Each structure stands twice: as structure tokens, then as C-alpha cells.
Copies of this chain bind each other. A is one copy, B any other.
Amino acid sequence: MFSADRCSAVLAAIRERSPLVHNITNYVVMNNTANALLALGAAPAMVHAPEEVEEFVALSQALVVNIGTLSTPWIVSMERAASVAAARGTPWVLDPVGAGATALRTNTAVALAHLRPACIRGNASEILVLAGATTEKTRGVDSTRSSADALAPARELAGTTGAIVAVTGPVDYVTDGRQCVGLGNGHPLMARVTGLGCTATALVGAALAVEPDRFIAVAAGLSFLAIAGEIAAEKSPGPGSLQLHLLDALHQLDAATIARRLKIVG
């Protein structure tokens, strides 16, 4: 069962071991993602050349693949890195940004989802598309559907891929196909900062690097961001301040804060 204690134990392990998290992610969020991983206590690296991704995966404790600013040469690297990670038993996380918006995105996300990710984290629209539960066009990279709508398809997707599936939104849901947990932390202002979903995915990568129970790891990674974002938003007049306070809050996050804040909603 996910709990504040389990969540804090994952945080302590990240700080203790400082896992190397290999990211193949989009240009928009590379800087923020690296900073969020550092603030939490992990060691990020952004490496995407097809000539070196296999070698780099072998050095890493987790891999994050995010299709945000997709292009054909990067797809080669993503598939190569994911395959090596799966073969080595290194946990890897898929962020299917914009699946459903274009054929390139949908096809790439579907292909990657079948390379045994430890976790798939998306918004409701993206998860519905990956689960084959809709063929409607999504609107850019934003969800047009609520997280709850995607819950049954998320369970199914977990079943067919073997991944823990996380659907994020005002409430975040995590499922392995059987058990499910809802997480109620966060703040509406977080939606006015670009790439916080991508950051959540990266923090899930750090959690998977140290926690063998994947369900617990995914819930913990999402909770780190949602709690820090909530703390940051409460003191922010706008999204510029939120970004700054978010990194400070991740750096200062501790077991007492998690115990006081964590909102498990079923």
C-alpha cells in the first residue's frame, strides 16, 4: 500500500544513492527536468546520440523517454535505448507527449509502449489514445479529457504492456491493472508552467531507480512533484515565481512535509 512512509523511504533512497537518470527528452523541458532531478537529489544526464545511448543506458540506474519535440533521428535513439534498458532490467519510463495529435506521435508512442516500459505517464487524452480507447484528435499537447475518464483504459493498458500506468491531472491515478491509487496534491497554477508533466515523469524515473516496488515508486515520484508544486504555488503570484519555488521545495522536501501534505484520495 502506498503511504507517506513508503513515499518518504523512496525520497531517502534517492538522496542516499543519487541515481544516474538518463533522459532522452524534449528541448523545451531539458533544463527544468535536469534541475528538478538535481533538486530532488538524483544525478541527471541528457544523452540522445544513437552512437552512444546504449553505452549510456548501461551506466544509468533509470531511463526516461519523452517524445515532446519528436523527430525521426531521435526515434531511433529512443527505441534503441528503451530496448537495451528493458533487456538489462533497468527501469524506463515513457512520456507519450501529444499522442493522438499526429500520426507520427501516436505511432511512435504505441511502438515504444510495447518495449516493456516500467511506467507510462500521460494525461488522460494520451492514455486513452495509447489504450486504443479513442481515435479523436487531441488538441496539441493538452488533455481534452479528465483523468477519471481514462481510468478503465489505463488499467487495460497496464495489462497489455506490463507497465504501471499513471494518468495525471487535477487528481493523479496510478494503476498496475489491478490495484489503483488516486493522489490529490497539486495546484491549478501548475498548469500555467510548461512541462511539469514531463518533470513528473522524470521524477518517476528517479524513484524507479531506487525502489523495486514499481507501483510505490510511480506514486512516490508523482507525489514529490505534486507536493512541491502545491507548496510553491501557495506562495506564488504567478507562474514565474512558481518555477523558482518548485525547485526550492523539491530541495527542501522531507518526511515531515510528506506526512503532513500527502493526499491519498482512494
Contacts and interface: CB of A to CB of B under 8 A. Distances in A.
Contacts of A26: 46
Given A28-B30, A29-B31, A251-B238, A45 B141 contact: yes
13 contacts: A28-B30, A35-B194, A35-B239, A39-B239, A45-B98, A47-B69, A47-B70, A52-B103, A52-B105, A238-B249, A238-B250, A239-B247, A239-B248
Given A45-B98, A140-B45, A194-B44, A240 B52 contact: no
A115 B250 CA distance: 42
Contacts of A250: 238
Contact of A139 (B20, B35, B140): B20
A103 B60 CA distance: 16
Interface of A: 20, 22, 26-32, 34-35, 38-39, 43-49, 51-52, 55-56, 59-60, 68-73, 98, 101-105, 137, 139-142, 191-195, 236-241, 243-252
A46 B98 CA distance: 10
Contacts of A72: 49, 51
A195 B55 contact: no
Given A47-B69, A71-B73, 14 more contacts: A35-B194, A35-B243, A43-B139, A43-B142, A44-B194, A46-B69, A52-B102, A52-B103, A52-B105, A55-B104, A237-B252, A240-B245, A240-B247, A241-B244
A192 B102 CA distance: 37
Given A48-B71, A98-B45, A31 B195 contact: yes
Contacts of A244: 240-241, 243-244
A68 B31 CA distance: 12
Contacts of A105: 52
